[in-house]
Structure formats: C-alpha cells, structure tokens
Amino acid sequence: MKRFYPDSYFHSVWELSPEFFRARGITHVIFDIDDTLVHHSLASPSDEVIALFEQLQTAQITCALISNNVKERAETFNRPLNVFYTYLSHKPQKRAILPFLERFGVPPEQIALVGDQIFTDVWLARRTGVYAVLVDPIGKFQTRFFYLKRALEKPILRSYFKHVGKEVSPKTKKKKSARKK
Ligand SMILES: [Mg+2]
C-alpha cells in the first residue's frame, strides 16, 4: 500500500508555494489539470491558476501540464499559461513521464507531480522517482466511475493519514476543523 502514498498531501494547490518546492530541491512542477487545477467542466484556467503559475515561474520554478484528457482539452487550457504540456498521457504508465524528463533535462528527483488521483497521478510519480503531491479533487464526483475510483482510493488514504500521523481523511478533517471555528 505504501507505494501509493504521496510524498506530500494538501487540501488544494493554493497551499503550494515556491518555498515548499525549493526546500525539497524541486525545480520543475507538473500539474494535472482536471479536478486538480480546475473543475473538469471548466475549459480555461482561473485567475488563481494563472497567478499560481506566475508565482512559481517568478521563483524560477518551471511549470508544466499533464493530462490523460484529449488534445483539445489540454491545448485550450494551456493557451493563457503557455507552458509545456502533454495530453492523452497514459498516466500511470511510466512512459507518461518521458516527455518531461526529455524536455526538462533534470533528474526525476528535481521534478514534482501535483494531482488529485492516487492511481494515476501519485502512482506515476512514485514509480518514476518524481515527488508526488496529492491534493483533494475540486468539485463533486459526478459520475459513477468517479465514485468507484474514490472508493478504491479511500483505504489507501486512510492508511496514509495513519502513517503520517493524521487521524482522519481530508474530507472529515475539513469538517472537523470547520466545526472548531
Ligand atoms: Mg485529475
């Protein structure tokens, strides 16, 4: 089960900072698009996404996009960002990381992959030596397929949070801390 653990977990990409990556020697960050940066129904990056990319790039951190979605999705989304991207990437197959290694010319240890799915994003990162950052998916899971995937992820998340000393799952945790306030 440990092979599915992310290296770090955050509620959302908005908690990420140049300092976080720099402290870990990471110079290149690959972002999953759907439900990581925006809800999968949104075609374009929000102002917040654009600002996040600018913030990282100003700090000399190279940003890129990876998507298992079709060309048009990734191409349209990338238009205002203008970064290196791949589509139909076949995450979690190891070859999904190859275009990035080739493009960046740095070892996998200097690369992070930020995504919302354990069996695609985290697993790809873990099996290729890339730093795995897991975030909660944006929005509600609208299809049965998504429900099923999340259900399969649950035992791993539970085990991961136990491992890192958090007692509860992200969702429960959010509710609890909200209640405290
Ligand atoms: Mg995703």
In a domain, 153, yes or no: no
For residue 67, the CA-to-ligand 1 centroid distance in Å is: 8
pLDDT, mean of each 10-residue run, the chain (181 residues): 92 96 98 95 96 98 97 98 98 97 98 96 97 90 67 88 68 47 42
Parent domain of 68: 2-140
For residue 180, the CA-to-ligand 1 centroid distance in Å is: 30
In a domain, 54, yes or no: yes
d(CA 65, CA 32): 6
For residue 141, the CA-to-ligand 1 centroid distance in Å is: 11
For residue 14, the CA-to-ligand 1 centroid distance in Å is: 16
**Pairing outcome for strands 28-32 and 131-135:** unpaired
Number of domains present in the structure of the chain? 1
For residue 80, the CA-to-ligand 1 centroid distance in Å is: 19
For 31-73, the three-class secondary structure string (H helix, E strand, C coil) is EECECCCECCCCCCCCHHHHHHHHHHHHCCCEEEEECCCCHHH
pLDDT at 139: 78
Look up the pTM and report it.
0.86
pLDDT at 169: 45
In a domain, 86, yes or no: yes
pLDDT at 150: 77
In a domain, 175, yes or no: no
CATH number of the structural domain spanning residue 61: 3.40.50.1000
How would DSSP label each residue in the chain? -GGG--SEEESSGGG--HHHHHHTT--EEEEE-BTTTB-TT--S--HHHHHHHHHHHHTT-EEEEE-SS-HHHHHHHHTTT--EEESS--TTSGGGGHHHHHHH-S-GGGEEEEES-IIIIIHHHHHHTPEEEEEPPSS---SHHHHHHHHHHHHHHHHHHHHTT--S-HHHHHHHHHHH-
For residue 168, the CA-to-ligand 1 centroid distance in Å is: 22
In a domain, 110, yes or no: yes
For residue 69, the CA-to-ligand 1 centroid distance in Å is: 9
For residue 130, the CA-to-ligand 1 centroid distance in Å is: 17
In a domain, 176, yes or no: no
Is 105 strand, coil or helix?
A: coil
pLDDT at 143: 63
For residue 55, the CA-to-ligand 1 centroid distance in Å is: 22
CB 135 within 8 A of CB 122: no
For residue 123, the CA-to-ligand 1 centroid distance in Å is: 13
In a domain, 108, yes or no: yes
Amino acid at 17: S
For residue 99, the CA-to-ligand 1 centroid distance in Å is: 19
For residue 59, the CA-to-ligand 1 centroid distance in Å is: 25
In a domain, 157, yes or no: no
pLDDT at 173: 47
d(CA 179, CA 181): 5
